[in-house]
Chain A
Amino acid sequence: MTTLSPANPLSPPSQSGGLAWLTLLTGPYARAAALLCLFAALGVVLAPWLGEGYVSLVFVLAISLAGTLYGMTPALVASLLGAFLFDFFISEPVFEFSLDRTADLAPPLVFTLCAVISGWLSGRLKDEAIRANRSNRQLESLLDLSRALQSANSEADVTGILGADGRRYSLLRAAPQDGAVVVDALADPAVRSVAQAAMTDGREMVEKDNLVACRLDTGGRVLGALVAEKGAAGEDGLLLARARMGALVLERIELGERLGEVRAKARSEELKSALLASVSHDLRSPLTAISTSAASLLEYGEQFDSETSRELLSGIVAESSRLNHLTANLLQMTRLQAGQEELYWTDLPVADTLRAVVERKRRLDDSHPIRLVAPDEDVLVRADTALFDLVITNVLQNAARYSPVGTPITITCGVEGELCAIAITDEGIGIPPEEQSRVFDSFYRGERGDRKPGGSGPAGSGLGLAIARGFVNACGGAIAVTSPVKDGQGTTITIHLPLTRNEAL
């Protein structure tokens, strides 16, 4: 936006050389002078009829007009010029400067006084109007700015919106790293020092060479500094106002970020306590079985027949492997909770990985035939391989645990828009609707004891689907359960993961 017209006498053009002269010739002074000359000529023409007194009023009219049109200073200049012209052309003797008689002195003196006062008054009026107009436009621009800033979500947004006025801005933040340049549109090495001065100096605005820095603070807390190139006189006040507005928005952004952090922390605390609860429960059961079996063998081993001893020993082996799987789950859960930086994100080929997981599952447990339907052309998702593997293993294990031996489990994998969809379907007894919302909670296990007719495998940890949900959330995907699938039987767990944006695939 432009606040001032080129003709504004309050901000003298800063150009230099020939251009300045040109401006001066076409500027308010030249126009005021031209106006005056026009009226002076009129006065000279009319002088024989009107007489000296009335002609002087014509001059005063010209000066008042000049003041109204061009402001106070041109009017004052015009009034002096008018006094000179009046003395030369109008007052007797004409065509000479005659101030030698005391009587001659009075008219031009009175006239000059009238002209100056009239020029001053009319000019001041004009100046006030210009000023009011300008502050009005500034207010409007600030209003527009505040509206635009509502949508800002980052420092770059803020400087971008501020920069809509044609100026370039650099933004420095006081926290978390002192004096860190966040946005640097100026790319001037002096930015940092002038910003530092604004942040630490008591003044809200610091000028240095061609730069001006405004301290960004809200209620005494310094958020950073906004640096711009020095603008025309009078614009810096506006800059300060814009900077204050920017500071408010920055604070809002900062508070929003902090709120997000607090929420994330609360969520992770919740997960942690759930994890602890499951550790205590799930580690103890296999440990108890192992320790009891071993103690029994030690204490009463001689009384046992070989079958009992074998049963106890194989129990120790099975429970150890269960403990192992459990610790893997716990480890991955901890990694998930530690946050993104603990995860190894790679572009993971989904179909290929599914094939490997299914192969391993088939080797370890042949109680359920597993069918994998995957596209020939693999799809990539951004994920942590160990976690992905564990999640699929967990879901497969659940499917096997809660469906009769011999019933098939089907895994499908495909692309749905921007997402990779993985669905694992069993033909088990299903999950009642009232339980479906809870299956993803840590430590939750199905209520129905009869899920697995004739089954005798170890109970689950109640962690599997909780990890699945944690993993899928970390990937920015979604996980859902559908049950029954058909004929009142079966469960489908569907996992949607965002595809890697990789056109080169």
Chain B
Amino acid sequence: MKTGHILLVDDEPAIVTALRPALRAVGHEVTIARDGNTAIASMTVNDPDVVLLDLGLPDMDGKDVIRRIRQTTGTPIIVISARHQEYEKIAALDEGADDYVDKPFVLGELLARVRSALRRRNHLDEAPTGFEAADLSIDYGTREVKLRGEVVKLSPKEYNLLKMLAESAGQVVTQKRLLAAGWGRSEADPQYLRVYVGMLRQKLEANPSEPQLILTEPGVGYRLSVNHAG
């Protein structure tokens, strides 16, 4: 299940040339789109499992591409961004992108993000009953959280936040979405979020000052790592 059909949307021939062989080598099928319109058309024609999308396209804004794709499908979209601007990443995520990587990215990390997205894609149809990764397990039915087999007591807010992160495990979750999950409104003070993430780390991390599980994406949000060795 770890392989799928990838739609790579980038107008940079160099990036396409560099990325395609590696994606194929790990078993993915790769379709290339050089601009937004081709990408949108390709969504219906090829029905890819994951979209890798460069925001800087010649014919239209990458965010518009995300919006258009989201009108018809929930296919995971990973944004590849060369402009390290938080507001642009947040805007892309708000439009419905699932994750982003910064250029220049490390190949291994990009492939891991693709794996995460594929995993999520495969679970799209069935409602997940829980989360299981490395030392952490969450039972969505009983709301029971276990760390290395030991039950961890979480407050309802902490649990909601953790569940939100776990549902998009391996992918970034914006502050806005986390605030909506924990406090019911996305415009709540991000300071609350920092406090609760801090408390979650106290309970879940081996060393809360060097988090391995709940990672900060500066200015954007948080990510639940599925690769941590912890």
Say whether A458 contacts B12, CB under 8 Å. Answer: yes
CA A293 to CA B23, docked complex, whole Å:
11
From A288, A300, A446, A458, give the contact of B26 (CB < 8 A).
A300
B59's nearest neighbour on chain A, judged by CB, is A449
Say whether B21 contacts A288, CB under 8 Å. Answer: no
* Interface positions of A (Cβ within 8 A of B): 277, 280-281, 284-293, 295-296, 299-300, 303-304, 308, 311-312, 315, 318-319, 322, 445-449, 456-459
Across-interface contacts of B83 in A (CB, < 8 A): 277, 280-281
Across-interface contacts of A446 in B (CB, < 8 A): 58
Within 8 A of A (CB), among B92-118: 102-108, 110
CA A447 to CA B83, docked complex, whole Å:
18
27 residue pairs bridging A and B, Cβ less than 8 Å apart: A280-B83, A281-B83, A285-B12, A285-B14, A286-B14, A288-B82, A289-B12, A289-B18, A292-B18, A292-B19, A292-B105, A293-B18, A295-B106, A296-B18, A296-B22, A296-B107, A299-B22, A299-B108, A300-B25, A303-B25, A311-B21, A312-B18, A322-B14, A445-B58, A448-B58, A449-B59, A459-B12
CA A290 to CA B17, docked complex, whole Å:
10
Q: A300-B22, A304-B21 are in contact. Are A289 and B15 (CB under 8 A)?
A: yes
Across-interface contacts of B57 in A (CB, < 8 A): 449
Within 8 A of A (CB), among B1-56: 11-15, 17-19, 21-22, 25-26, 34-35, 56
From B21, B34, B103, B107, give the contact of A285 (CB < 8 A).
B103
* Minimum distance in angstroms from A211 CB to a CB of chain B: 64
B17's nearest neighbour on chain A, judged by CB, is A315
Main secondary structure of the interface of A (DSSP, over half): helix
* Minimum distance in angstroms from A180 CB to a CB of chain B: 48
Which among A292, A303, A312 has the highest number of chain B CB atoms within 10 Å? Answer: A292
Say whether A311 contacts B17, CB under 8 Å. Answer: yes
Across-interface contacts of A292 in B (CB, < 8 A): 15, 18-19, 22, 104-105, 107, 110
Say whether A459 contacts B15, CB under 8 Å. Answer: no
CA A381 to CA B110, docked complex, whole Å:
51
CA A288 to CA B10, docked complex, whole Å:
12
Say whether A458 contacts B14, CB under 8 Å. Answer: yes
Say whether A296 contacts B21, CB under 8 Å. Answer: yes
CA A281 to CA B102, docked complex, whole Å:
11
A314's nearest neighbour on chain B, judged by CB, is B17
CA A296 to CA B16, docked complex, whole Å:
12
From B34, B84, B110, give the contact of A280 (CB < 8 A).
B84
In addition to A285-B103, A290-B18, 19 A-B residue pairs with Cβ atoms within 8 Å of each other are A281-B83, A284-B82, A287-B104, A288-B103, A288-B105, A289-B12, A292-B15, A292-B18, A292-B19, A300-B26, A308-B21, A322-B14, A446-B58, A447-B58, A448-B58, A449-B34, A449-B58, A458-B13, A459-B12
